[in-house]
Chains A and B, each alone.
Chain A
Amino acid sequence: MKRVTLALSLALAAGISAQAADAQTLKTVKDRGMLSCGVSQGLPGFSSPDDKGNWTGLDVDVCRAIAAAVFNDPTKVKFVPLSAKDRFTALQSGEIDVLSRNTTWTISRDTSLGANFAGVTYYDGQGFMVKKSLKVNSALELNSASVCVQTGTTTELNLADYFKANNMKYEVIAFGTIDEAVKAYESGRCDVFTDDSSGLYASRLKLTNPADHVVLPEIISKEPLGPMVRHGDDQWFDLVKWTLFAMVTAEELGITSKNVDEKAKMDNPELKRVLGSDGNLGEQLGVTKDWVIRIVKAVGNYGESFDRNVGAGSPLKIARGINALWTKGGLQYAPPIR
């Protein structure tokens, strides 16, 4: 039903408004006093609400960081939970300002959806989870298995590719939400549950007996996850993109939520530039000079956010791996702020 509403609102927005591509997202957000942020319906570590309705997670932190840069208040975000199927329509129709919902960057999504990826918050890859009792050690032993998957994802496409490429047969059962898929997997309808491997670890925590399930070693795809914005608004695109880069840069420079005030006072040219006491980089983005200070105070640098949500400081305990900074052998790299 929600999908029909979204599609209708898209049809109306596209059909009636004389100029739908108004490049005014930042102004709209400021006027509204609130950032509207599309997130998942509950994926621990990335975006999930707690029992009081507070959203936390790596994807949530991106939206909080944007709100901090714009309003100096990370709570001025309205989170809109979206299923994988509804997410792009919600962005196209203008219901949300930014889609930060563990979404894989692919060329077709970048070119045909009228949206742009602002960067990569998490480098992921698709994996498989099975019950230990099946005694399967490799994804190549999964011939004739039944696989549960969330519909409308790149996961569903990679799955088809992988089994075809390895000449294996399988049965796919596609569900609208991740919770339905996990429930069917737990009830025994499927032998295998497949998702991005970070999602597998997160879903495993929700199972009755997490220890009875094992994630297979194969990673069958590249899944760079990142936030998306509408095409045609370069100012907003820049702001979201550089908010991510600011978090990574802060980690590179050792700026944390605890020492940001001290760092701001230091007489170091790069720190002065990044933290806004020198130049007007923030104003050129459409926010204030101290935008990086605001972001870091609100959510911390990239490393802090990672540890708190998915890393050592979280129940997921995912290693930094390829998500470490480029200086530490990982892929996280931000262009210079100057």
Chain B
Amino acid sequence: MGVEARKPPTQVALKLRRALGGKAGWNGVAVQLVFGVILAWIAYEIISNASTNLETQHIAAGFGFLHNSASFDVNQTLISYSGSDTYFRVFLVGILNTLLVSVVGIFFATLIGFVVALCRLSPNWLVSRVGGLYVEAIRNLPLLFQILFWYLAVLAALPAPRQSVSVFGAFFLNNRGVIIPSPLGQPGLGPFLAVLIAGICISLGLRSYARRALFDQGRVIRIWPYVLALVVGLPLVTMLVLGPPVTFEVPQLKGFNFAGGARVIPELVALTVGLSTYTAAFIAEIVRAGILSVHKGQMEAGSSLGLSRGTTLRLIVVPQAMRVIVPPLTNQYLNLTKNSSLAVAIGYPDLVSVWAGTSLSQTGQAIEIIATTMGVYLLISLATSAVMSVYGWRISRSMGA
């Protein structure tokens, strides 16, 4: 009779034990359970104590106020809003305004940052010094000061509405912002968009077909004439047949201000410019460090293959540099989003201004409002870093690292 092999312990229990208790095993699990219960108890005590105390002091508590009408106005709203809407809608308006300035700011900061970094790395003496000057000047001045500069100094230089700078009688620049003609949809808009989208989809399909042909069989297919015909030609024909898809409403000076047209308020412009130029200085240094971290042999290999400097950078150096760039770049994106709360200094209606500012003092419910504000910033930041993590992971994977 042979000796029976010892049964291995059940895999599920083992995995669970290791996941929960680490090296300490089941003892570790017990300690963590006790710790969790204590934390939950403390949280419960604080919350229930706070609500009783607020009640005895006759301070309104709870989230009932979200349904009350806010009865104040906001000068830039991405969704329709008026004074008779609720506080909850103010909350949404604030979040959207914060997101707007963050997204636009991140876009321009990245763009300017990459350009400045490439300037600093340029072999041209003048260009690299200009890049260096930009970085040193911008990142060593306080951000609030820069935002106030863009707002007050630039605003003061602009004319009043009645003396607006006019471009073609349709675009106007004055101290109320940039006023542009706003598009009004016409019956031809639907078919026009449909044709345009179809054209873009087919072009993308063509492109992937052409790439496969190139990689698999080494055939070069010239697709740009077809793409041009699909994306520009077809929509143009549709336009000729069905008439223009949109007409533009030209702004008119009426009373104090322009009526009609769309307007970009100066607060948004000042804040976006301030945030993106400031963050760009940091991004430039991150990108420069990333590119320098790629061994110079890569650059030389590129040139020995006969690639130009630009192509080598684009195809060989930058993709490798991205691995180093992405994590600190994420930090800068998060900083920009959080710095957007300086908006309150120049009257841009972001979340901190309309929610943690106006709504807080009109309702007096500090705990609820500050907690939700923190929650929103946390959520935006976590979402940004999740997206960037996925992007970083894809880069690493595509390089087999």
Instruction: Name A residues whose Cβ lies closer than 8 Å to a Cβ of B.
Output: 3-4, 6-8, 10-11, 13-21, 84-89, 92, 109, 111-114, 134, 142-146, 148, 151-153, 156-157, 159-161, 164, 170-176, 180-181, 183-184, 187-189, 191, 230-232
Known contacts A146-B176, A151-B357, A18 near B49 by CB under 8 Å: yes
B12 on interface, CB distance cutoff 8 Å: no
Docked-complex contact A88 and B361, CB < 8 angstroms: yes
Known contacts A171-B257, A172-B75, A191-B256, A230 near B57 by CB under 8 Å: yes
- Option from B57, B259, B362 in Cβ contact (under 8 Å) with A152: B362
The 10 A-B residue pairs whose C-beta atoms are closest, nearest first, are A152-B361, A114-B59, A112-B60, A7-B370, A15-B46, A15-B50, A114-B57, A160-B83, A113-B364, A14-B50
Give the chain B neighbours of A7 by CB distance below 8 A. Answer: 366-367, 369-370
- Option from A14, A85, A112 in Cβ contact (under 8 Å) with B53: A14
Docked-complex contact B50 and A11, CB < 8 angstroms: yes
Give the chain A neighbours of B363 by CB distance below 8 A. Answer: 112
B21 on interface, CB distance cutoff 8 Å: no
Give the chain B neighbours of A187 by CB distance below 8 A. Answer: 152, 155-156, 175
B308 on interface, CB distance cutoff 8 Å: no
Docked-complex contact B75 and A173, CB < 8 angstroms: yes
Docked-complex contact A85 and B358, CB < 8 angstroms: yes
Q: How far is the CA of A3 from the CA of B351 in the complex (A)?
A: 14
Docked-complex contact A112 and B156, CB < 8 angstroms: no
Q: How far is the CA of A148 from the CA of B267 in the complex (A)?
A: 13
Give the chain B neighbours of A156 by CB distance below 8 A. Answer: 72, 358, 362
Q: How far is the CA of A86 from the CA of B357 in the complex (A)?
A: 8
Minimum Cβ distance to chain B for residue A44 (Å) = 22
B136 on interface, CB distance cutoff 8 Å: no
Give the chain B neighbours of A4 by CB distance below 8 A. Answer: 370
B254 on interface, CB distance cutoff 8 Å: yes
Docked-complex contact B46 and A16, CB < 8 angstroms: yes
Docked-complex contact A151 and B73, CB < 8 angstroms: no
B349 on interface, CB distance cutoff 8 Å: yes
Minimum Cβ distance to chain B for residue A88 (Å) = 5
Docked-complex contact B255 and A144, CB < 8 angstroms: yes
Docked-complex contact A180 and B347, CB < 8 angstroms: yes
B344 on interface, CB distance cutoff 8 Å: yes
Q: How far is the CA of A134 from the CA of B358 in the complex (A)?
A: 30
Q: How far is the CA of A189 from the CA of B75 in the complex (A)?
A: 13
Docked-complex contact B155 and A188, CB < 8 angstroms: yes
Task: Add 19 more A-B contacts to A19-B53, A153-B361, A188-B155 (CB < 8 A).
Answer: A4-B370, A6-B366, A18-B49, A21-B56, A21-B57, A85-B360, A85-B361, A88-B364, A92-B364, A113-B59, A114-B57, A144-B255, A145-B255, A148-B347, A156-B358, A159-B72, A174-B72, A174-B354, A231-B58
